[in-house]
């Protein structure tokens, strides 16, 4: 007979969001069952954020050696040992792994079940030999790489982010289908690690980002030797007798066949919902994920969904934010807690990085009209720290409303993700730009670019003819 477990909260999925709920709820006194059919830590630790940033770090080191001449530090072309690079990536995962381990969570009092979960009713599910009945359920199953219906793709070997980091041999020629964050991050990293890389994108490269900022990133990748086919539809793929991958693409100029040694599919992600039997729990879902309201409740009010599976922004930090929203409702009955995320940031970890929070310029124009917003901009070519580091790529751009409140900000350049925090606070708290303009910033830092951008909001007024007249009048006394 199946074991019946009665608990307060049952969390499905041990990725970042699920682990945050399990840890927080357990340490606050709730009985928690955590179910995971795959690896503890989920996609972020094992196939996503952690290994990709580790690979990017290795690639950046290789590129730094190539570019040392700008500082008078000439060096030979670095020798790339992909086996050791792969070992470095695995080592980073191993260093972080204990934080997400089953042992750690069991030490917190969480009951961990390593099995697939399937709902059997509105208040019950089955996982392995156990039946779990809970007051609340949290679906945190994340997402998986979406595989597009390219003719022939099912007959050739291809990589996704779930298999890319297993590669420990040099890639001579890499074809990347998808020109979004994952595609471009991995394209640049592998180019820097010695591969010839071609990126194929059916629409616009970095299509969700500010076009002006995206152009800075794309120009840098082109300069490093990455080839692009923008507005090109992948219409077929086959494997040659020599094992090569032949990708056919259609563009306005006609049909072209690209040839590579490995193929990476990076066109987006699909929510993990298929194996949960959600219909038996009365939970509605579609191709984008589980349907939730502003409080992250599903159509079954005792079941919440968080992170990628909830169909919104698919970022680890959003899953963590969602965890806090549902914990406040489940444990403290704070029914007013909502997933209100106008200041949800995101970063593409290319070099230069591209970071965004709030509304982009185009979004602000669409919502309020061009005459109702003001754009501030400051380039890193006018930043002393950037000059000292010989890295002038990019700028800070801010979008203001008529009252001077910050609606959004875009930063493209070195450490853009690190520079975004004050702008996130400005957007979330609906602060006026004067707050940031009056902050004292240490010199020389890249943060000065944000302050200078903020200060430029007042340049026209401060240095106007009217101000000059007032100053001349006051100086008479």
- Expressed in angstroms, the distance from the first to the final Cα of the chain is 95
Instruction: Look at residues 261, 320, 275, 279 and name the one whose alpha carbon lies nearest to residue 296.
Output: 320
Least confident range of 82-86, 141-145, 300-304, 332-336: 332-336
Do residues 32 and 7 lie in contact, with contact meaning Cβ atoms separated by under 8 Å? yes
Would you call 234 helix, strand, or coil by DSSP? strand
Give me the residues paired with residue 227 across strands. 198
| pLDDT value at 460 more than 90 | no
CA 153 to chain centre: 26
Listed residue (9, 35, 31) closest to 275, CA to CA: 35
Other C-beta atoms lying within 10 Å of the C-beta of residue 173: 17
Mean pLDDT score, 349-369: 96
Q: What is the DSSP letter of 209?
A: S
Task: Considering only residues 423 and 473, tell me which one the structure prediction assigns the higher pLDDT.
Answer: 423
Q: At residue 467, does pLDDT exceed 90? A: no
**Pick the residue with more confidence: 313 or 426?**
426
Q: Are 138 and 304 in contact (CB under 8 A)?
A: yes
Q: Are the beta carbons of 311 and 273 closer than 8 angstroms?
A: no
1 pLDDT higher than 70:
no
The 3-state DSSP composition of the chain as helix, strand, coil percent (nearest 5) reads 40, 25, 35
| CA 116 – CA 122 distance, rounded (Å) | 17
pLDDT band at 287 (very low <50, low <70, confident <90, very high): confident
Taken in order 435, 437, 443, 445, the sign of the CA dihedral is positive
Q: What percentage of the chain exceeds 70 in pLDDT?
A: 100
What pLDDT is recorded for position 313?
Answer: 85
Ordered by where they begin, the domains of the chain are 3-40+101-145+270-332 (3.50.50.60), 153-267 (3.50.50.60), 346-462 (3.30.390.30)
User: For the residues 139-165, what does the mean pLDDT come to?
Assistant: 96
The model's pTM = 0.94
């Amino acid at each position: 007979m199946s074991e019946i477990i009665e608990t307060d909260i049952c969390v499905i999925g041990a990725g970042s969001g699920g682990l945050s709920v399990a840890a927080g709820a357990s340490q606050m006194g709730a009985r928690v069952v955590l179910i995971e059919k795959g690896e503890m830590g989920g996609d972020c630790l094992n196939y996503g954020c952690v290994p990709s940033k580790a690979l990017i770090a290795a690639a950046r080191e290789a590129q730094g050696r190539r570019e040392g001449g700008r500082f008078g530090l000439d060096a030979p072309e670095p020798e790339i040992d992909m086996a050791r690079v792969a070992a470095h990536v695995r080592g980073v995962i191993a260093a972080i792994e204990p934080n997400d381990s089953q042992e750690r969570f069991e030490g917190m009092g969480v009951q961990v079940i390593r099995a697939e979960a399937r709902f059997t009713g509105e208040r019950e599910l089955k996982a392995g030999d156990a039946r779990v009945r809970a007051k609340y359920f949290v679906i945190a199953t994340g997402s998986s790489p979406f595989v597009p219906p390219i003719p022939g793709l099912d007959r050739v070997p291809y990589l996704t982010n779930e298999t890319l980091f297993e590669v420990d041999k040099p890639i001579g020629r890499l074809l990347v289908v998808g020109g979004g964050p994952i595609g471009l991050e991995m394209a640049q990293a592998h180019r820097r690690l010695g591969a010839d890389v071609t990126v194929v994108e059916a629409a616009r490269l970095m299509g969700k980002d500010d076009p002006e900022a995206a152009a800075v990133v794309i120009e840098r990748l082109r300069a490093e030797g990455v080839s692009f086919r923008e507005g090109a539809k992948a219409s077929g793929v086959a494997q040659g007798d020599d094992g090569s991958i032949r990708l056919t693409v259609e563009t306005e100029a006609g049909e072209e066949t690209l040839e590579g040694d490995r193929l990476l599919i990076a066109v987006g992600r699909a929510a993990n919902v298929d194996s949960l039997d959600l219909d038996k729990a009365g939970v509605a879902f579609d191709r984008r994920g589980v349907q939730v309201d502003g409080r992250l409740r599903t159509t079954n009010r005792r079941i919440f969904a968080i992170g990628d599976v909830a169909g919104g922004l698919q970022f680890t930090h959003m899953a963590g934010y969602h965890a806090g929203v549902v914990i406040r409702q489940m444990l403290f009955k704070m029914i007013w807690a909502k997933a209100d995320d106008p200041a949800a940031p995101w970063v593409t970890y290319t070099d230069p990085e591209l970071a965004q929070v709030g509304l982009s310029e185009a979004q602000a124009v669409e919502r309020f009209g061009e005459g109702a917003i003001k754009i501030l901009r400051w380039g890193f070519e006018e930043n002393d720290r950037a000059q000292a580091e010989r890295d002038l790529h990019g700028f800070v751009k801010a979008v203001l409303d008529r009252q001077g409140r910050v609606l959004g900000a875009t930063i493209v350049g070195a450490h853009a993700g690190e520079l975004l925090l004050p702008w996130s606070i400005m957007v979330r708290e609906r602060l006026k730009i004067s707050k940031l303009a009056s902050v004292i910033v240490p010199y020389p830092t890249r943060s000065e670019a944000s302050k200078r951008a903020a200060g430029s909001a007042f340049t026209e007024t401060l240095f106007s003819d009217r101000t000059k007249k007032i100053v001349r009048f006051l100086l008479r006394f």
